[in-house]
Amino acid sequence: MAAATVQRVYDVGILLYPGADLLDFTAPHGVLSHVSYNNNPAAPDRVFSIRLIAAHEWITASDPVTVKRHISITDARKELENFDILIVPGGPAPAISGVVNANGPEYEFIKSFIHESRNEERILMSICSGAFILGATGVLAGKTVTTHTMALEGLRAICQKATKDFGGGQTKVMKARYVDGGVTKSGMRIITSGGIS
């Protein structure tokens, strides 16, 4: 008799910040929460374990909807090595600027995730204008990336500034639904998307 196969559960963190676009984090959450190994909706054997990460217990997203986090940024940082995937949603320009310009806890968390060494490949994914936050960290240097079609020039400018600040190659910003930018030297797969809808 063969031993039962243990299915891997991938740990996903969705990073929230004040003003994050509601659709940009609820859509990936909704899709990933329905993926199961056994295709049994009554008793799913889930592929992904998803946690909302935020600096504050309650986050007012866009539209305005208030959402309760699952885990604080401080606690998530303590178990950073456990996260296989980090999703960074987009938001309106003032919300993105609040994260990037303040070098806030969300920005620092992303940088920690990028630099956390691990033997397995990880995924860092942005939805829509969440690419601006990734671009500001310098992780998009030398990659091909995308964002919302109305924000391509803005992303290009942020990536050029980050290249000056952190070094790295020229970032190619293109109009696309999504772009798999490849794997960084540290084993981080970079995926950016043009938006949810």
Q: pLDDT digit string (tens) for 77-122?
A: 999 999 999 999 999 999 999 999 888 899 999 999 998 877 889 9
Nearest CA-CA partner of 189 in 113, 99, 103: 113
Helices 130-137 and 152-166 pack at an angle, to 10 degrees, of 20
Active site residues: 128
Q: How far apart are CA 2 and CA 83, in angstroms?
A: 30
**How far is it, in rounded angstroms, from Cα 94 to Cα 114?**
24
Q: Are 76 and 13 in contact (CB under 8 A)?
A: yes
pLDDT at 2: 57
Is pTM, for the whole model, over 0.85? yes
- Type of residue found at 24: D
